[in-house]
Structure 1
Amino acid sequence: MITAYRVWDGEQMHYWDDEHLSLTIKNDGSWLLWHDSGGGCVVSSDDWDAALMWGTDQVENQVITVYEGDVIEQEETELGSPYEGVLIGSVNMLEGQWCIVNEKKKEARPVFSETAKNKILGDVFQNPELLEGAE
């Protein structure tokens, strides 16, 4: 099994399946994204604007990969659910579970739900404005 990841280098996003890129994670938690074809370091955990994000799959008629830092709009479709209406927030790992977190509303919901529809709007790095209006 291949673990999905992506890396923000401060200007662009790099994905786990990009050609000629490899990720090294050291025992101390530091990491390095590098060109395995001799191109050197792309970005590392030492860069102040860099971010390493892990991904997970979600099945909704097709498999989509959801990453930490994605901005998702979730609409609950089941009456009587503890979650009502639409929530826009960023994906974070909370207590071992992938959640959509809206800081303004102080609300968090599980990303994976059989009764909710998720739509990926963008991510917090390339589209930070998506969270500014998230009510």
Structure 2
Amino acid sequence: MNTAYRVWDGEQMHYWDDLNLNLFIKGEEWTLYKDSAGLCPDIVTSSQDEKSVFLKGTDQFQTHGRLKRIYAGDIVQQEETELGSPYGPGKFIGEVKMIEGQWCIVNEKKEEVRLLFSQTATNQLIGDVYQNPELLEGVE
């Protein structure tokens, strides 16, 4: 079971394995708590906060450099390594999204979607849409 998640609170990213963080989910609503010295945990953010976003982790990791999990909302650069691939040579950059039950890389400007998982391509994590939205501005 994939339990990796992260939460963007409008200012910073909080990860599932951050010390003293707990996530409570009930139906469609969620709350991120931080354990405190007192009896009641402190609320970091929740689904009620319009600037906060809950992002699921994929089961994929970048294939360049240090092992990093890829999450929804990440910006990934995918490069095909197989000669004769229908995608051709070159780099494809887009946002990671779940589409019909599959993790995909979406480039809205090119109106193109590719599967995140590929046996013949490499993925490099280059940022995310919350902290680095400019990475998608000039993407063709």
The question of a shared fold, defined as TM-score above 0.5 by the shorter chain, is answered with yes
Alignment TM-score, normalising by the size of structure 1: 0.92
What residue ranges of structure 2 are gaps of 5+ in the alignment?
Answer: none
Same amino acid, percent of matched pairs: 60
Aligned partner (choices 107, 111, 123) of residue 106 of structure 1? 111
Structure 2 partner of 1:46: 48
Cα RMSD (Å): 1.7
Q: Is the 8 A contact 2:2 2:57 kept in 1?
A: no
The one-letter amino acid of 2:112's match is E
What residue ranges of structure 1 are gaps of 5+ in the alignment?
Answer: none
1:5-45 C-alpha deviation (Å, 9 max, x unpaired) = 00000000000000111011112x01100113344110011
Structure 1 residue runs of 4+, over 4 Å off? none
Aligned partner (choices 39, 57, 71) of residue 67 of structure 1? 71
- Specify the SS of the correspondent of 1:129: helix
Higher alpha-carbon deviation: 68-77 or 51-60: 51-60
Alignment TM-score, normalising by the size of structure 2: 0.89
Structure 2 partner of 1:32: 31
Q: Is the 8 A contact 1:83 1:109 kept in 2?
A: no
Structure 1 residues 2, 78: CA separation in 2 closer, same or farther (over 3 Å shift)? closer
Corresponding residue pairs, total: 134
The one-letter amino acid of 1:35's match is K
Question: How many angstroms does 1:133 deviate by?
Answer: 1.1
